[in-house]
Amino acid sequence: MIDRRALLAGLAASAALGGAAGLVRLGSAPAYAEALAPPGEAASGRTVNATLVAAERPRALPCFGGVRLPMWTYSPSLPVPVIRLDHGDRLQARLVNRLPRPEEHTSIHWHGIRLPNDQDGVPYLVQPPVLPGESFDYAFTPPDTGTFFFHSHCNTTEQLGRGMVGVLIVDGDTTEPYDADEVVLLRDWRVNLEGGAFRPMVTLRGAGRAGSYGTVRSANGAVNPSIALPASADCRLRVINCDPTRVMDLRIEGAEACIAAVDGVAIPPVPFDGWQTGPAMRFDLVLRSPRSGRSASLVDVGGDERVELARFAGTGPDIRAGAFDPRPLRAARVPEPDLAAAEPLAFTFADDSGLALPEATTPPGFLGALCLSKASFWTINGQMWPEGGHEAPPPPLAELTLGRSYRAALTNRTLYDHPVHLHGHTFKVLGSDKTRLPVHYADTVLLRPEETVEVAFVADNPGDWMLHCHVLEHQETGMMAYLRVA
């Protein structure tokens, strides 16, 4: 057990010294495999077109046990659409809103992609909301390879809760092909299977605490599916937690595995001994699959009981006989923050105790009703996002200078977990005062209760970029802000 008082004293002392020497730091990353082409040079000249039609599509996913539920999805493909690009490809995606509710506007946020601000999909802040009957065209060339996903950015609790999510994979990071490449999309569903209906996605009880948990857990739309892999092979598993709420403590049982990338960004493969995976967090594993006829499991040990989420079954002849020594992925071209010159920032995630309720700022008209926070519970640096929702943005939480390096201390002063996400940038996770993590890059980092995590990044992408908790009910009840880079 960590002695909290000693820890806080240590932190205070290191803060007084002007640094953060009290944070746990591990050695710098060992040499990577040959790096990716720089973003500017990666253009392939190829454009990939996608049409995403947000609509109600009643479906019986395997995890619904044959019951049809009024899902909202981007396409008829189940469980979700997967868009695959090669590094350097341009994505041209048309979003069409055919949602059945007259006021239900939407947009697409391409989570983790370092794209131009006007393609970031945050309604009101960077683009107009897309009303039913309307469409919006996105176009960008992702600068990085890896495993990403996309979702809406208003009423996300319900839109994602009913199924509106998709996977975006940018290929081109392997140094030698793996023997298989599978997406493992983890999420719960808040459903009442007897009644064939979704449960309310937002509850006051959940929003003010850890969030409203789902009632059915799933991997790729099924309960504990068996995923066939070639036997005794080095298989890439792209694990995505796209749950609105649940933090998972994921382990592999019955096989050797290495973690090869976090939030799409390669790290030198290190043996996988579990990863605390909050909503929106991803990691790529290389798993030496079991021999033919045997299986391994992905389990969540974060709750009261161990839950098996998916099984991996070895099938066919053994592919590899040698020791498990997986090939690394190519190093990313995320700009390296200059830690010596970095300007310090501090963001504290807290509840609203002691804060007076702000005047309601809801503008007249029906658009206001959808993004409207139902209540406010959470703050960043003592400010809560105004109850008007996205359409009444407050001033930026911080104004950053384009091109400058920043190191930000992210502190959780609550009893609950907060996976904190910054748009448009990929940050380096420098260390935590609670958890030991390998040095890695991420777009979302988990803050456990009373934990401080330090991250650093180069503010190289101009625009207004959201900084928020990815427990969607926390985001929608105050724990949301934005940084202006100019």
* Binding interface with Cu ion (CB under 5 A): 418, 469, 471, 474
Cis peptide leading into 79, omega within 30 of 0?
yes
- In one letter, which amino acid is 136? F
Which of 204, 221, 146 minimizes the C-alpha distance to 442?
146
Does residue number 282 form part of the binding site for ligand C2O (CB under 6 A)? no
The span of 167-175, 313-321, 410-418, 465-473 binding ligand C2O (CB under 6 A) equals 465-473
Minimal distance, residue 274 CB to Cu ion, in Å = 21
Minimal distance, residue 466 CB to ligand C2O, in Å = 5
The span of 68-76, 318-326, 406-414, 466-474 binding ligand C2O (CB under 6 A) equals 466-474
> Computed over its alpha carbons, how large is the radius of gyration of the chain?
22
* Binding-site member from 333, 421, 428, 434 for ligand C2O (CB under 6 A): 421
The DSSP bridge pattern shows strands 47-59 and 90-98 to be parallel
Does residue number 281 form part of the binding site for ligand C2O (CB under 6 A)? no
Residue 469 contact, options ligand C2O, Cu ion, none, Cβ 5-8 Å cut-off depending on partner type = Cu ion
Minimal distance, residue 210 CB to Cu ion, in Å = 8
Applying CB under 6 A, what is the total number of residues that bind ligand C2O?
Answer: 10
CA angle 295, 296, 301 (to 5 degrees): 145
Burial of 18 (0-12, 13-18, 19+ CB in 10 A): exposed
Cβ nearer to ligand C2O, comparing 290 with 424: 424
Minimal distance, residue 444 CB to ligand C2O, in Å = 7
Does residue number 418 form part of the binding site for ligand C2O (CB under 6 A)? no
Q: Could you tell me which residues are beta bridge partners of residue 15? A: none
CB-based contact 462:425 (threshold 8 Å): no
Cβ nearer to ligand C2O, comparing 151 with 418: 151
* Binding-site member from 114, 217, 333, 423 for ligand C2O (CB under 6 A): 423
Cβ nearer to ligand C2O, comparing 160 with 409: 160
Cβ nearer to ligand C2O, comparing 165 with 459: 165
Residue 474 contact, options ligand C2O, Cu ion, none, Cβ 5-8 Å cut-off depending on partner type = Cu ion
Residue 421 contact, options Cu ion, ligand C2O, none, Cβ 5-8 Å cut-off depending on partner type = ligand C2O
Which of 240, 245, 300 minimizes the C-alpha distance to 264?
240
Span 140-159, contacts to ligand C2O by CB under 6 A: 151, 153
Q: What is the DSSP code string of 346-401?
A: EEEEEE-TTPPPPPP-PPSSTHHHHH--S---EEETTB---TTGGGS--S-SEEE-
DSSP character for 294? -
Cβ nearer to Cu ion, comparing 71 with 281: 281
- Greatest Cα pair distance in the chain: 67
Minimal distance, residue 237 CB to ligand C2O, in Å = 21
User: What's the CA gap between 121 and 125, in Å, rounded?
Assistant: 9
CA angle 31, 35, 41 (to 5 degrees): 160
Minimal distance, residue 471 CB to Cu ion, in Å = 4
Which of 351, 346, 398, 399 minimizes the C-alpha distance to 375?
351
DSSP character for 425? -
Here the tokens at position 152 are 């809406």
DSSP character for 434? S
Minimal distance, residue 79 CB to ligand C2O, in Å = 18
Residue 423 contact, options ligand C2O, Cu ion, none, Cβ 5-8 Å cut-off depending on partner type = ligand C2O
* Binding-site member from 468, 469, 477, 479 for ligand C2O (CB under 6 A): 468
User: What's the CA gap between 404 and 90, in Å, rounded?
Assistant: 28
CB-based contact 352:267 (threshold 8 Å): no
Residue 109 contact, options Cu ion, ligand C2O, none, Cβ 5-8 Å cut-off depending on partner type = ligand C2O
Q: Could you tell me which residues are beta bridge partners of residue 94? A: 51, 137
Does residue number 333 form part of the binding site for ligand C2O (CB under 6 A)? no
Q: How far is CA 395 from CA 245, 357, 373, 449, 485, in A?
A: 27, 17, 18, 27, 13
Does residue number 311 form part of the binding site for ligand C2O (CB under 6 A)? no
Interface map 89-128 toward ligand C2O (x if CB under 6 A):
--------------------x-x-----------------
Does residue number 186 form part of the binding site for ligand C2O (CB under 6 A)? no
Minimal distance, residue 481 CB to ligand C2O, in Å = 11
Q: Which parts of this chain interact with ligand C2O (CB under 6 A)? A: 109, 111, 151, 153, 280, 421, 423, 466, 468, 470
